[in-house]
Structure formats: structure tokens, C-alpha cells
Amino acid sequence: MSTIEARGLRKSFGSTIALDSIDLRIEEGRILGLIGPNGAGKSTLLNCVLGLIPYEGDLNVIGLNPWRARERLMQEVCFIADVAVLPRWLRVSQAIDYVEGVHPRFDRAKAESFLARTQIKRNSRVRELSKGMVTQLHLALVMAIDAKLLVLDEPTLGLDLLFRKQFYDTLLNDYFDRTRTIVVTTHQVEEIQQILTDMMFINHGRIALSCSMEDFETRYTELAPRADSLAEARALKPMYERQILGRSILLFDGANRARLAPLGEVRTPSIADLFVAVMGEQAKGAAA
């Protein structure tokens, strides 16, 4: 069974269309990166998936209709919607007590052991913790829940590099077990490239690109041609060209690596570079 399945998913706010007929299917055990510019519709999509807002079209999350069965869904789904949502008056011990009191799949011992690795004191209030500690606390609560789907919407926004790194390491080492599914949005794409199994670009409420990371690696090639072979490389129709320190970098879609190798330095592009290429082309297309 797919963890998330959407057909013709639409959502509009007044006259603005936030999601324009989205079809998607996310299988169990995947880690999907949802990437797009601000206002692209990422958070709207996640809010639909989490049953926080009504929508049009078909949407199934672990076999449930999220809008009709949010309460039931939340027994199987966890989410962290950026760092600042734990109420400031809440004590750490109260947070643990409360989640234990309402969540049938919460494992208190697990949460305690995650917290034991941090500097967080049990009787501190959230307002007394640093931003990084709040995220550690939220992560400890969420990781102690035996859920099928974890949704992270900009979970590391405003955190320093150390905490961001630690966040994803913990997630991958202590939580992900290949039966769970994780959906994550972030602007720091480079940092999660290594952990993703799938990626999806969203722009203007539509899916601009969707592929697995294996496909991504075989399909897209970046070439830094030698000066004398630039014309030859351009003749192979790159999808995008950018200049770095006076050197051209060409991005190819579906090119034969063996054919490109003699022309210069060949490598797999970063998601961020592909993102710029895809979104840049779309912007040009829209302007034309």
C-alpha cells in the first residue's frame, strides 16, 4: 500500500490556486524531499496530507481520508512543522506526560533516552530552552512515537549548522527503519541530498519534477568542459548552462556519460543546481 496517494488534489485560497491538480504516490519506506520556492505550495500540500485543511480531489494517507479522520490518522502520523510550535509555557516533563497520556504509540522510555543525550532539564519550560534544544525536545517526542509516516516541514529553520546536521543524523540512525516513510521540506537542500531516496520539485502548485535519487543520478549529468570543447559540449544540447568563475558548467538530462567524459570533468549535479535549472527554465517559459 502506498503511504500517500493523491489524485487531482486541488486547493485554492480565494482566487489563488495553491495546489493545481496534483497527482502523486509515495511508497512505504521512502524518504522524500519536497523542494520548491516560497509559496510554491509545499506547506499547503503537507497541510492537506495532515488533515489540517480541507481540499478537493482524492487523497489517501495510510488508507485514510486525512480531513475526515485526522484523529485516527494522527495515531500513525507524526509531524514537526518548523521549530517554534511547542508552546512556550510547557515544561519538558509536562510535554512527555501529555504525549504519553494521549498517544497510544508513544514509548516514554525511548523519549527519555533521547533526552538523556541532550542538556535539556526535565523541569525547564520551553521558553527557557534554546532554539536547538526545542527542536531536540520535539524530535525526542516524535521519534518515541511508533508512526508510519513522519512529516517535517522546514524542521531545521533557524538552527545552526551543528544542530541541523545532528537533527538529520539522529533521524536517519535512530528512527528510519525502511518501513517508515519520511516527507521533508527544507531550503537547505544540499544537507539532505544524501539521505533522500526520492525528490520532488514543486512550483506554482504543480509538480515540476519527481524522481527517485537513483534516477536522478543516472539521468542528470553535470559537465565542466575544457575551454576548447565548450562548443562541442553545447552542441549536445544541455538543459541548462551557468557560469562559475568564468567557466561554463553544463547540465544534461539523459546524456551518455561516456560521450561527455572526453569533453571535460563529469559529475552528478547537486539537487540545488538541478532545482535552479528546472525552475529557471520554467521562469523563462512563463516569461516567453
Partner 1 sequence: MSSVSDTSSLNVPAARTDAHARTRPFIWSVRRELWEHRSVYLAPLIVAGLVLFGFLIRLARLPHIVQSAESLPWWKQYLELALPFAIATLSVLVTGEIVAVFYCLGALNNERRDRSILFWKSLPVSDLAAVFSKATVPLLVLPVVVLVIAFLLQLLMLLFGSAVLLKTSAGPGALWTHWPLAQMSLTLAYLAVIATLWLAPVYGWLLMVSAWAKRLTFLWAVLVPIGLSVVEKIALDTNYVGSLIQYRLKGFLALAFNQPPKNPTSIDPVALMTPLRYFTSPGLWVGLVVAVAFLAAAVWLRRDREPV
Q: Interface with partner 1 by CB under 8 A: which residues?
A: 47, 50, 52-54, 70-72, 74-75, 78-81, 84-91, 94, 97-99, 101-105, 138
The torsion region of residue 8 among left (phi > 0), alpha (psi -120 to 50) and beta comes to: left
Pairing of strands 2-13, 56-61: antiparallel
Closest distance to partner 1 from the beta carbon of 103 (Å): 6
CA 109 to each of CA 18, 134, 145: distance values in angstroms, whole numbers, following the listed order: 41, 19, 11
Cα–Cα–Cα angle for 134, 136, 141, nearest 5°?
Answer: 95
Kindly state the smallest distance separating residue 132's Cβ from partner 1, in Å: 17
CB of 86 to partner 1, least distance (A): 6
Task: Report in angstroms how near the CB of residue 71 gets to partner 1 at its nearest.
Answer: 4
In angstroms, the Cα distances linking 257 to 129, 233, 264 are: 50, 12, 11
Nearer Cβ to partner 1 (5/153): 153
Q: Tell me the closest approach of the beta carbon of residue 94 to partner 1, in angstroms.
A: 5
- Closer of 80 and 274 to partner 1 (Cβ): 80
Q: Tell me whether residue 70 or residue 206 sits nearer to partner 1 (CB atom).
A: 70
Minimum CB–partner distance for residue 15 and partner 1 (Å): 16
- When the beta carbons of 145 and 277 are compared against partner 1, the nearer one is 145
Does residue 214 contact residue 57 with C-beta atoms inside 8 Å?
no
* Residue closer to partner 1 (CB basis): 104 or 246: 104
Nearer to partner 1, 80 or 230 (CB): 80
C-alpha closest to that of 37 among 155, 240, 206, 194: 206
Residue with Cβ nearer partner 1 (80 or 255):
80
Q: Where are the alpha helices (DSSP H) in the chain?
A: 42-49, 70-73, 92-102, 108-116, 131-143, 161-170, 189-192, 213-219, 230-234, 257-260, 271-287
Reduce the DSSP state of residue 173 to 3 states and report it: helix
Residues in the chain: 288
Q: What's the min distance (Å) between Cβ of 242 and partner 1?
A: 37
